[in-house]
Amino acid sequence: MYRKLKLIIICSIVLTSFSYAQRYQIYEGGFENIKEIKSFTVAFDYENIQVHGFDSEEDFLKEKMEKRKSNPEKAAAFRRDWFSNRDQYYNPAFINYFNNYFKKGERKIVTDSPCLMKVNLTWIYPGYALEPAKLSATIEFIDTINSKKLLVIHFEKVIGMEKKTIEINEYERVIGAFEKLAKNLAIQLK
């Protein structure tokens, strides 16, 4: 009896750990379709992103700006930075982490390749000072010559890499989530 219980507990721990580690789902295609592809161009799409706890991204921005209404310049800066941080911080963080993960250049994001890696951001939780940001994304690998999707993979609620310091600036927490997304993708492609 004791052995059976011990075996059941061990198996459930192993299975739980395995399922927790596999926080992605393949929607279309397979890794074998991009096995020989070594370089990708990348495009980021934020068009359909949802912000945790809000009906829309616009509702999130309205609330954040309302909190800053006593300082209109600060409110306007928050809105401006929410969008500009994408090109300034988040996209480069993803690209740099992905490229640095492959130390020997086995895979690389470049400016010109017939294979497009389209990163569609679907959900974000910006986090708070002590809590890392999280995000979900569907990544499509597209053969641009033949207009064919080779792989569509979804990563659900990727928890940002934790830094050793308390991150006051929201963009620093979100950078950690983009780096973790790049890491999770790179692990699957290695």
CA-closest candidate to residue 49, choices 112, 147, 122, 158:
122
How far from 132 is each of 15, 115, 169, CA to CA, in Å? 26, 32, 11
Could you tell me where the DSSP H helices lie in the chain?
2-21, 57-67, 72-85, 91-101, 170-189
For residue 32, report the phi and psi dihedrals to the nearest 5 degrees.
Answer: -60, -25
Sorted by sequence, the CB contacts under 8 Å of residue 128 that are 6+ apart come out as 173
Q: Decide if pLDDT at 42 tops 60.
A: yes
* Contact between residue 158 and residue 138 where contact means Cβ atoms under 8 Å apart: no
Residue 92 confidence class, pLDDT cut points 50, 70, 90: very high
Report helix, strand or coil for 61.
Answer: helix
pLDDT above 50 for 85: yes
User: In which band, very low, low, confident or very high, does the pLDDT at 13 lie, cut at 50, 70 and 90?
Assistant: very low
Most confident of the following: 35-39, 127-131, 168-172:
35-39
Position with higher pLDDT, 148 vs 163 = 148
Hey, what domains does the chain have and what are their CATH numbers? 24-189 (3.40.50)
- At CA 92, angle to CA 171 and CA 126, rounded to 5? 25
Tokens representing residue 189 in the block: 């492609």
| One-letter identity of residue 141 | F
What percent of the chain has a predicted confidence (pLDDT) above 70?
A: 85
- Confidence grade of residue 161 (pLDDT, cut at 50, 70, 90): confident
Query: How far from chain centre, in Å, is Cα 117?
Result: 13
- Specify the pairing of strand 39-45 against strand 108-109: parallel
Residue 9 has pLDDT above 50, yes or no: no
109: tokens are 């994001």
Strand partners, 40: 109
Q: What is the pLDDT of residue 4?
A: 55
Closest CA to 91 of 45, 53, 38: 45
How many residues make up the chain in this entry? Answer: 190
What is the pLDDT averaged over residues 12-38?
74
The answer to whether the beta carbons of residues 134 and 148 sit under 8 Å apart is no
